[in-house]
Structure 1
């Protein structure tokens, strides 16, 4: 489940009507401004709470106004009914840490309110309108999963047999088959990583140490921690996928060179193909890792 902070209020309010509009965009803006002014009025008029221990101060998070909250507790209030695509029957929470400060999310380094339970299934994620899962997909999801695993299993078994044969018979050892072997290996790694991903990740979202089921039985990400194991695993998954596509390209390039270049020598250029197949994906994976960690460091 994506963790929604809604600090980019303008982007949220400019979300166009996708399924049903509760209030207009202009009315939303007016209500937001009114609520903000009311909250700042409380901030300036009410003195800080000092009795009975530490308290987090009254604060405005961009959508809701949070009252002074005792340290070490979680403030709970209904989801706002003046924001489209939020469910007012659910609750939003905000944690006050033991030192009397609002919880700061590790990814954004900002105080954070948990609106996850408020968000309806068809709201936009990262600016892209979401779609409810069609009934026909829900009905056949189990069968589709079985078909996927069966296909990967048959592919993995066939590829392993092919690799064993090509390695066992020395007459098959040649540059052309070396390229074929690397292509087969990329498909084998892709099948293996798919089985691992489905086996160790909870509903494809994260490891058991990264997620939890909330009181409504919904799967959600734990806000604490770096979750580096999950990030590293998904980096490996993306690299293997990219390497698989790279080796398909290398195979096609090799055949093209055999046909079009008369002076082409297989053994002389074999190391170039090996480097291209396994290192070229890094040209995309490394920038992706850097951008995700510096610009969009969210799970």
Structure 2
């Protein structure tokens, strides 16, 4: 469970009514509108009533002393509008405060806790165990910054890997095609997460301006974003399963028809997550119907295991595949050391490192956060889990692309070819320049007058060109004698 994913806010969960004296500027327009709304109500003579007030969320009508006023929960974040909230008017005609018989405020205190889902109430009850609630919220905020950094690096690494796989023809094989599908599922997931995180950060930075619209507070768009996020995450798990299944078939199946299996891989990787996500989305929509919370806290309810159950099964199956692959490979290596077995061994070596890494990472993400523990224990869990989750794409790109022998060989060949072409092009340019200069020199020699021509002669034995200048006799200039 990711505490920071849904942008929980302690103030909006408890939602206490603020003292009127402390919020005069904020409440004055609301209070005036509220009083005007109920000015037509005539209070019976001799009866004691509490005045109409606005507590920043709801406008409460004049209420008879010693009774309760009831309203539907406000249409705000984390609030279920199908539930009811109550406010008590005491026997003296004052709205009750948070403590019994407390009447220090004309507005009183409204307990909005029933408006919040039980799962979220339980979450914050655990979070506030002891005096470390604020520290844990600070840790959650720092974790969000770590996630944004990790997902950004993972996105760049995954996009670069996809470019390499698509650019080089020598890398276009079925195993690489499976890698590309896994990378594409991760890219979609990472891009949606970064979009949601940045959107939430911008909205929180402009909370004073209530007119700013974003994904987080736009109906249908917000829900659609979370549905697409969970679909991409489920597709990532299914392509992880395909990676393990492909290696298992390549090692254990005697006659392995890759083309026939590849259609099945596509159906499992992209088709099966559509069915799971659609079922979960419909049930989730019915559960959150009438709420203004944009499905915040959906990972805390039991329906989330419609998606988490198959994901957990994928992790367990991949470990079973891995154990059987290692067993079969050890037997083959004892019998022969052919190039085919060596190639399989290299592929399995990457899987041995990658699959436990992915399994441990996602198992940590599936475990319940230790909110009731100390701030130090919570920090260790939060930083470790979200570091591994956010940098997951970077680790996959390293193991399946940047550290892959075939990829490095293809890149080295391309670099060598580029260098050779550059040298050939430079040599051609030098040769062309020499021929151009020789041609220009010949043209210039032919254009000179005969009186200034030069004789060129080849010294064949010495392989040199000897140039002898033919001196043209200068005409004598006669100076006339000066007559005295």
Q: TM-score range by the shorter chain?
A: 0.5 to 0.7
Match of 1:132 in 2: 127
Distance 2:288 2:191 in 1: 28
Choose the corresponding residue for 2:284, options 286, 292, 295.
292
Choose the corresponding residue for 1:119, options 88, 113, 132.
113
- From the CA coordinates, give the structure whose radius of gyration is larger: 2
Match of 1:40 in 2: none
**Contact 1:246–1:276 (8 Å) recurs in 2:** yes
Match of 2:106 in 1: none
In structure 2, the CA distance between the partners of 1:77 and 1:152, relative to structure 1 (3 Å rule), is farther
* 1:120-162 Cα deviation digits (max 9, x unpaired): 9x99436845322645433444442332222112211111111
Unaligned runs of 5+ in 2: 1-7, 14-37, 43-49, 53-57, 64-68, 88-109, 211-215, 294-484
In structure 2, the CA distance between the partners of 1:228 and 1:271, relative to structure 1 (3 Å rule), is same
In structure 2, the CA distance between the partners of 1:288 and 1:169, relative to structure 1 (3 Å rule), is same
What is the deviation of 1:285?
Answer: 1.0
In structure 2, the CA distance between the partners of 1:230 and 1:142, relative to structure 1 (3 Å rule), is closer
Distance 1:150 1:110 in 2: 39
What is the deviation of 1:94?
Answer: 3.3
Match of 1:94 in 2: 71
Distance 1:167 1:187 in 2: 17
Choose the corresponding residue for 1:75, options 60, 64, 72.
60
Match of 1:254 in 2: 246
- Equivalences for residues 117-266 of structure 1 within 5 A: 118-119=112-113, 124-125=118-119, 128=122, 130=124, 131-132=126-127, 134=132, 135-201=134-200, 227-266=219-258
Distance 2:198 2:155 in 1: 16
What is the deviation of 1:179?
Answer: 0.4
Distance 1:139 1:201 in 2: 16
**Contact 1:104–1:110 (8 Å) recurs in 2:** no
What is the deviation of 1:184?
Answer: 0.9
**Contact 1:239–1:285 (8 Å) recurs in 2:** yes
In structure 2, the CA distance between the partners of 1:139 and 1:228, relative to structure 1 (3 Å rule), is closer
Distance 2:192 2:254 in 1: 39
Distance 1:136 1:239 in 2: 33
**Contact 2:231–2:273 (8 Å) recurs in 1:** yes
What is the deviation of 1:239?
Answer: 0.9
- Equivalences for residues 24-63 of structure 1 within 5 A: none
Q: Which structure ranks higher in relative contact order (CA pairs < 8 Å, sequence separation ≥ 6)?
A: 2
Per the normalisation by structure 2, the TM-score is 0.35
What is the deviation of 1:275?
Answer: 1.7
Aligned length: 207
Choose the corresponding residue for 1:270, options 253, 258, 262.
262
In structure 2, the CA distance between the partners of 1:117 and 1:139, relative to structure 1 (3 Å rule), is same
Greater share of helix: 2
2:127 alignment partner, SS class:
coil
In structure 2, the CA distance between the partners of 1:76 and 1:176, relative to structure 1 (3 Å rule), is farther
What is the deviation of 1:290?
Answer: 1.6
1:125 alignment partner, SS class:
helix
**Contact 1:183–1:244 (8 Å) recurs in 2:** yes
**Contact 1:193–1:237 (8 Å) recurs in 2:** yes
1:94 alignment partner, SS class:
strand
Distance 1:270 1:190 in 2: 23
Match of 1:89 in 2: none
Choose the corresponding residue for 1:283, options 265, 270, 275.
275
In structure 2, the CA distance between the partners of 1:76 and 1:279, relative to structure 1 (3 Å rule), is farther
Distance 2:284 2:41 in 1: 37
**Contact 1:197–1:204 (8 Å) recurs in 2:** no
* 1:43-73 Cα deviation digits (max 9, x unpaired): xxxxxxxx98699xxxxxxxxxxx9x8xxx9
In structure 2, the CA distance between the partners of 1:213 and 1:125, relative to structure 1 (3 Å rule), is farther
Match of 1:43 in 2: none
